[in-house]
Structures are given as C-alpha cells and as structure tokens.
Amino acid sequence: MNKIKNKLLFILAKILTASAPGGTYLAFAGAGSAAQLCGHIRRSGFKRVLVVTDTVLRDLGIVDKALEGFKDSDVDIAFYDGVQPDPTFDQGAAGLAILKDHGSDAVLAIGGGSSIDCAKLIAATATSDEDPRDWIGFAKVKHEVMPLFAIPTTAGTGSEATMGAVISDSATHEKGVISGAGLGMGATALDPDLQMGMPPAITAATGMDALTHAIEAYICRWDRGTRKENAERAIRIIFANLERAYTQGDDAEARESMALASYYAGIAINQVNVGTVHAIAHQLGGKYQIPHGLANAMVLPHVLDYCAVEAEDSLAELAQLIGVATAGQSAREQARAFIDAVVSLRDAVGIPATSEKINSADFDYLTGLAVAEATGYFAPRLLDEAGCKEILAKISA
C-alpha cells in the first residue's frame, strides 16, 4: 500500500508543480552582505520589521552586528527572541502576538534553521486566521504571506532557500512540514562575518545537514529543475571546505564557501524535497531532541547503503565529482567509494556514529512515523519497516 501511495503522490506532485511558477532566489553574499540586505529591506519600503531570533545570539551581540545596516535609518525594529531548537506552534503564536502589537510589515529571521522556520510560521499566521496545524503537508500554505527575509548564522539547514518549515507540536513532540510558495525568502544574506564564531560541533552538524540535502536531492527519482546542478555545487564545496571550516573556524573563505553550499543545497531540495534520511532523522529529533544535523549525519551513510543498488549510478557520479573514483572501478565500486567518503568526512568533523539516547524499545514507534513520512518522499528506494529498524539498530549505542 505504501508503494501505491508513494506512486500516486509522485504523480500528484508532478501535476501540481507542472504549472506552478519556479522559485525565485535573491542572495547577497560575502563579508558585509548583512548590511546590504538591511539596505535592500529599507529601499523596498518596509518601516516596521519584526526580527525573529534566539536569546543566545542576542546576548552574543551577533544580532546587533547583523542589524548594523539599519543604523541611523527610520526602520523600527521589534524582537521575538524566544526561538528554541525545533520551533513549535506555540513559539509561532508568541511571535505573532509581538508582531501584531508592533504592527510589523516584514519579518527578518536571524539565526539558524529554527529561527528561519519560526519566522516563516509567524509570517504565515500573520495573514491568515486558519489553524497552522492544518498546514502540515504538501503546499497547504496557499495564502499571501507577510514579506520574509533571512540572515542565516549557520551553514547547513538551507531554510533560507526553501519554501517549507519544520514545526514541532509541543504536546506530542512530533515534527511536521508546512510549505507553500509564499514561504520563500524575499532575499537573504550569506554573510561569513556572522558565522566566524560558530562552534566546531555546530559547524560540523550543520555542514553535514547541508551535505544530506544535496545528496538526497541528487539521488532523488524526481528530475526537476536545477536540482542536480545545485546539488553538485553544494557537494563539491562541502567536501572541499567543511573540514577546514571545522578545524579553522576563523577561515573566512571556508565560512563563505559553506554558506554558499548550504544555499545551493537548499535550492536543490526546494525543487524535489528531501528523502529517507530526513524521514528517520525527524523522528530522532522529535523523540530524543537529537539536533537535526547530527541526526542526519548518523543516518546518512546507512540510508545510502540501503538504497545503494537503486542509486548506484548517481552515487558513482558523485564519487567521480569529488575525486574518489579510480580508473577501472565498476559503478558499484565507485558508489561504495562515495559512501565511504561520506563516512570519512563525518568522522573527520567529530560526529559520532551512534547515540546512547536511541532506545530499541522505541523502534516500533519511530519506524511507524518514519515509514509514514518517507512515503511522501521520492527517494530511490522506499523505506520499509525492516529497513528502518535495521538502520535504527546501527545508530543506537
């Protein structure tokens, strides 16, 4: 039944997107680009901006630095800094209350994926009386959304380039995705100056998150738009720069490269969605609060093993792309070389292969949710219960 459902969803997705306008992307990149974005917001006529962020970034002074482009301007700023990892509908409601009280006419996210996703939720609820829980699913945010902008301070989630947001239910801790054309950013700033102080562990996890996005887009069955070209760019950049950004956090070139890689990978998944890795990782985050990038990094090699036959040619191409394929190797050998390279990169940036939090007693619960979510993705091989439990067993300590 899951195979039939997946096939029908694939057909429906193709029909729904056939006449849909393509995504538009505007990014200011490089040192000082946050100030350029602020100038763009001013010139676009927005006067009252709600900044969505977290208290840590405000306390560190990163938010103030990001907003220097508004200095001596007539733009009035309000703040919602209550974003926590895995933002919830409740956090969105709290931000909405501040937006209404302030009379904001635009929303600017400053932070990682959680802040950007929460900003999307706030902007969508600002122009609708619907229950946002009803938006869980594919392209259910159909109304006009308040203008959105983003200054990501991590390089990995890609939310600054997508038309979706991952939101958690505070009661059940289950994650769901809301999406719609209006959730795309009006513009974003990829400013390495704001990412220089990112701790090595976060650099590693978010970088592997971006790699997961790019790989899942590349091996996806849905050949749509520029997903392959953008995925290739991201994968090449990440293999060349992630370890350097991890070990040399003040390397501006590596930081800027990773910011671009995250953006390219975000564009790729915005066209074809994510895949099986996310279907499992979302459950690990919801149940155990394992950070999303960390969960993706643990799951990714095992999912690639799981679909190695179906994705053999694509994985072999990626091996050639990053230079780990050798002359005379078969496609299967090249695919294996790429998977091994993913494991090597994960190990090089200090991400563990397993987690003690993952409990075998929860496997049935986690598998049920993961298989159901995976049915909505177009991965090379559809996830089944046996495969999911085998993957969970491999990543549990």
- pLDDT tens for 348-386 read 999 999 999 999 999 999 999 999 999 999 999 999 999
Predicted confidence at residue 5, as pLDDT, reads 84
Task: Identify the band that residue 172 occupies on the pLDDT scale cut at 50, 70 and 90.
Answer: confident
Confidence of residue 21 (pLDDT cuts 50, 70, 90): low
Token code pair at residue 99 = 């937006």
Residue 282: the pLDDT is 93
| 3-state SS string for 288-338 | HCCCHHHHHHHHHHHHHHHCCCCCHHHHHHHHHHHCCCCCCCCHHHHHHHH
Domain 23-194 classification at class level:
alpha beta
Q: Which string of DSSP letters, residue by residue, matches 174-226? A: -EEEEE-GGGS-SEEEE-GGGTTT--HHHHHHHHHHHHHHHHHHHH-S---TT
**Three-class secondary structure of residue 365 per DSSP:** helix
Q: Domain 200-395: give its CATH architecture.
A: Up-down Bundle (1.20)
- Tell me which residue has tokens 């060349």: 240
Residue 123 CB neighbours (<10 A): 28
Q: What is the C-alpha to C-alpha distance for residues 327 and 174, in angstroms, rounded to an integer?
A: 46
Q: Where are the domains of the chain?
A: 23-194, 200-395
Dihedral angle at the C-alpha atoms of 306, 312, 318, 323, nearest 10 degrees?
Answer: 110
Task: Determine how many CB atoms are found less than 10 A away from the CB of residue 213.
Answer: 35
Give the model's pLDDT for residue 129: 96
pTM for this entry: 0.93
What is the pLDDT of the chain when averaged over all its residues? 95
Lowest mean pLDDT among 1-5, 71-75, 157-161, 387-391: 1-5
Strand arrangement of the beta sheet that strand 148-152 belongs to: 27-29, 187-190, 148-152, 106-111, 48-52, 76-80
Residue 17 has pLDDT above 80, yes or no: no
pLDDT of res. 382 = 97
Question: How far apart, in whole angstroms, are the C-alpha atoms of residue 392 and residue 273?
Answer: 22
> What integer pLDDT is reported at residue 397 of this predicted model?
78
Q: Cβ(354)–Cβ(395) under 8 Å?
A: yes
When pLDDT is averaged across residues 189-206 and rounded to a whole number, the result is: 95
Interval 270-323: pLDDT, tens: 999 999 999 999 999 989 999 999 999 999 999 999 999 999 999 999 999 999
Nearest alpha carbon to residue 212 among 201, 221, 220, 200: 220
What Cα–Cα distance (Å) separates residue 95 from each residue in 47, 83, 91?
18, 9, 6
d(CA 167, CA 123): 14
CA dihedral 282, 285, 286, 287 (to 10 degrees): 120
Q: Does pLDDT of 107 surpass 80?
A: yes
Mean pLDDT across 76-102:
97
Closest C-alpha among 216, 242, 213 to residue 345: 242
Residues in Cβ contact with 330 at an 8 Å cutoff, skipping those fewer than 6 apart? none
Would the CA dihedral through 266, 296, 323, 218 be positive or negative? Answer: negative
pLDDT of 62 > 70? The answer is yes
Q: What is the pLDDT of residues 236-275, one digit of tens each?
A: 999 999 999 999 999 999 999 999 999 999 999 999 999 9
**CB within 8 A of 179, min separation 6: which ones?**
135, 137, 138, 139, 140, 141, 163, 164, 165
What is the percentage of the chain residues whose pLDDT exceeds 90?
Answer: 89
Q: Residue 37 pLDDT more than 80?
A: yes
- For residue 27, give the H/E element and its range: strand 27-29
Mind listing the pLDDT tens digit for each residue in 198-224?
A: 999 999 999 999 999 999 999 999 999
Structure confidence by residue, pLDDT tens digits, 327-357? 899 999 999 999 999 999 999 999 999 999 9
Supply the DSSP symbol for 106.
E
CB 75 within 8 A of CB 46: yes
- In this predicted structure, the answer to whether residue 58 has a pLDDT above a threshold of 70 is yes
